Homo-oligomer: A and B are copies of this chain.
Amino acid sequence: MTALQKLLHAQFQHQSRLCIGLDSELSKIPIHIRNHEDALLEYNREIIYSTQQYACAYKLNTAFYEQYGSKGWNILKESVSSIPQDVLSIADAKRADIGNTSSAYAKAVFQDLQCDAITVNPYMGYDSLAPFLEYENKMVIVLALTSNPGSEDFQRLMCNGKPLYMHVVETVMSWKRNADIGFVIGATHPAELSELRRMAPDIPFLIPGIGAQGGDIEATMKANANGPVMINVSRGIQYAGDSIDFGEKAKNAAQEYCQKIGFHS
């Protein structure tokens, strides 16, 4: 089964286009479990267990684990292995480097962590992403137009009559690949999302920026026009509760987001 098939299957099974972000930090998880050994892993497992019926994907941002060194890397790996087999696991790593180096990153994420998908940065061009794109049954999700204010700095520069992010989408779509591809497009740019959806009607978009970053679900879903999509929510779900019932609170938040996003197969 390809990664895209897995995603679409999970979406249909759970009637959900919600991707849940696990950007877990010790200083933010409920106080009562902070002192447990492997507190972050225990926390992640509870969030995953509580919310899985409303998720089509989980996205773990590697930064939050790397900050705890090798112990964090272990928690990352164990957390990924706690994600149900039928739900997509995404390493939000935004990697890319020269060929032999990207091969090592691909090995780290696809083989060691065993994630289904990775986010990558297009700046270094084709050969920097080729080692990821070679993998069958994986998904390579390329940054196009990100949700943050800095997306203005370079991504929107007009290059030969088109903004850079549009060159990225067009060029990446033309590349040879075994993996499925996807694009990151922030929920903070509904007009551009609508345009990109027309350019790439069948490509899955990973859409962050809902919630803490101010993106609007309704405008996003309208602009997406029913293309394959994962709407990511991190802080709005994982930190919905800060006490003994944090799992229940996360579940309720996930259910609510899932319904707001809606599902039409």
Instruction: Known A69-B73, A154-B167, A154-B171; judge A124-B146 contact (CB<8 A).
Output: yes
B154 and A123 contact, CB distance less than 8 A: yes
The answer, among B66, B148, B149, B157, for a CB contact under 8 Å with A159, is: B157
Chain B residues, CB < 8 A from A64: 101, 104
The answer, among B67, B127, B150, B151, for a CB contact under 8 Å with A107, is: B67
A31-55 contacts to B, CB under 8 A, are none
Stretch from A92-100, A190-198, A215-223, A254-262 at the B interface? A92-100
A157 and B154 contact, CB distance less than 8 A: no
A74-96 contacts to B, CB under 8 A, are 74, 77, 92, 94-96
Q: Is A252 interfacial (CB 8 A cutoff)?
A: no
List residues of chain A with CB under 8 Å of any chain B CB.
23, 25, 61, 63-64, 66-74, 77, 92, 94-102, 104-105, 107-108, 111-113, 121-129, 143, 146-155, 157-160, 164, 167-168, 171, 208, 213
Report 14 cross-chain contacts, Cβ distance below 8 Å, ordered by A residue: A61-B97, A61-B101, A63-B95, A63-B97, A64-B104, A67-B105, A68-B112, A70-B70, A98-B213, A122-B153, A129-B150, A154-B167, A157-B160, A164-B164
